[in-house]
A and B are shown apart, each in its own frame.
Chain A
């Protein structure tokens, strides 16, 4: 039984973490909200007063807004589709008996530990550069015209780079879930005459359901705020400007803080919608 003494001690021990996070959340959030209602141009006159919802309206009405939403969605959906489909197949493969399983696992999860700026630059220059890049050499070796990936197929290239970074995460989580699958159930289904596809569809996939949901939610939250990959590859050019990047450009590059802050509020709302679903799943697990 916890005594009253230990209860107040517990509250005291929790206080620093709670206070720090509360400050970290509230102070910048309130500032962003405040800026979003003001015309604020630090380099061109500073704070020029209250403008109501003007920033919110002009952020949405600007010609860059809808394309950026479209790019963001394409990126998130594209990366999710690739990492999930390939991730499930890869997890199934890695779950099979083989020689050197441990080493293959290490090879497969390695990209996750590569910092975003490195993976983006290595792909941009060393893999995808049409003149000297590896893919360029490969294309020439089979008699094809090398492709300037990041300008001619910009969206596809970024999706490829980001998928490469996130495939290990999806694979690892799906593999972990797969390994908790009851093998007796599988054998029983096999004895009852269920083929490999039926077994996958009726046993494996439902068992992976929760892991897949978790992968989708967590990746979505990270993918919505992808920044470094675009910063060092295209800088938002060639139709790769995501919502995050657009806000960054408004705030720091063109120093239109009011407008950028309104965009920031939109981004926060968008992330919250995803977060609510994730929290529900995590919360359910907490009770179990």
Chain B
């Protein structure tokens, strides 16, 4: 009997959920449409926009006028670079905390997490000053290091929760069979840790890609990633709807796709394992 009611209820649910989903998604949908219109058509009424001819001209203009690709590569280098630098430091740390825990392990983890909660603006000037003194202002190297440091607690924490799920008995068995620390890490732990490491990489690339405090304050023309490049549209000249849309679509598309693959890990990574 419950089954029979459910078709009608299912229809209502479907209509409602799709309606809400489309409203939430609408701004993204709309800029996608506008990005394929000419600048003159993009400011017309929505019906006129939809019936106007489709064109790729805005994508070409954005690249031509502002060297979009340079900023895109900056984003790629900063997000991927900072994540891998972070992994290099975090994997050993998380490994040792998960498999050789001591009395202080929990305190260290909590302390690492607490550094993430330091408001960036509180240390803006010191970092700014250090960057000037070290010649790192508007350099990709400097920003990569900063992004690595702000995400390091999340990387360590996520890896730790994944590593902890690897049964310790397997490591003991390997040790009994004569595996040393190096073999243990290389042949036993690494294969089992790959899914966890992959999720960690995914989430951190997303977070670094979208970071918009340090990237705005520590870069200018040279090292600016997409977050900072897009911000230059806040004081536009002339018509710019189609160009802003095209630039935005290109900036968010790669991360949207990555993000959709990482839904599950997102919850875990962002709540530090408090909600699973």
Give A residues with C-beta under 8 Å from B.
Answer: 2, 6-7, 9-11, 13-14, 16-18, 20-21, 24-25, 27-29, 31-32, 35, 90, 93-94, 96-101, 103-119, 121-127, 131-132, 134, 137-138, 140-141, 164, 167-169, 172-173, 176-177, 180, 210-211, 214, 218, 221, 224-225, 227-228, 231-233, 244, 247-248, 251-252, 257, 260-261, 264-265, 267-268, 270-272, 274-275, 278-279, 281-283, 285-287
- Interface residues on chain B, size class: 35 or more
Give B residues with C-beta under 8 Å from A.
Answer: 6, 9-10, 13-14, 16-18, 20-22, 24-25, 27-28, 30-31, 34, 43, 45-46, 89-90, 92-93, 95-97, 99-100, 102, 106, 108-110, 112-115, 117-130, 149, 152-153, 156, 181, 206, 209-210, 212-213, 216-217, 226-228, 230-231, 233-234, 236, 240-241, 244-245, 248, 251-252, 255-256, 258-260, 263, 266-267, 270-276
B119 close to A267 (CB less than 8 A) = yes
A14 close to B108 (CB less than 8 A) = yes
CB pairs A–B below 8 angstroms (18 shown): A14-B96, A17-B152, A93-B16, A97-B6, A97-B10, A101-B17, A113-B252, A115-B226, A118-B252, A138-B46, A210-B274, A214-B275, A218-B270, A227-B121, A227-B212, A275-B117, A283-B110, A286-B106
Q: Which chain A residues border B27 with CB–CB below 8 Å?
A: 111, 119, 122-123, 126-127, 164
Report the Cα distance A184→B45, complex, angstroms.
Answer: 52
Q: Which chain B residues border A140 with CB–CB below 8 Å?
A: 45
B21 touches which one: A29, A107, A164 (CB < 8 A)?
A: A107
Q: Which chain A residues border B245 with CB–CB below 8 Å?
A: 122, 126
A251 touches which one: B124, B212, B226 (CB < 8 A)?
A: B124
Report the Cα distance A172→B276, complex, angstroms.
Answer: 11
CB-nearest residue of chain B to A272: B117
B108 close to A111 (CB less than 8 A) = no
B124 close to A247 (CB less than 8 A) = yes
A113 close to B119 (CB less than 8 A) = no
Q: Which chain B residues border A25 with CB–CB below 8 Å?
A: 115, 118
Report the Cα distance A20→B111, complex, angstroms.
Answer: 13
B16 close to A122 (CB less than 8 A) = no
A28 close to B217 (CB less than 8 A) = no
B274 close to A279 (CB less than 8 A) = no
B213 close to A225 (CB less than 8 A) = yes
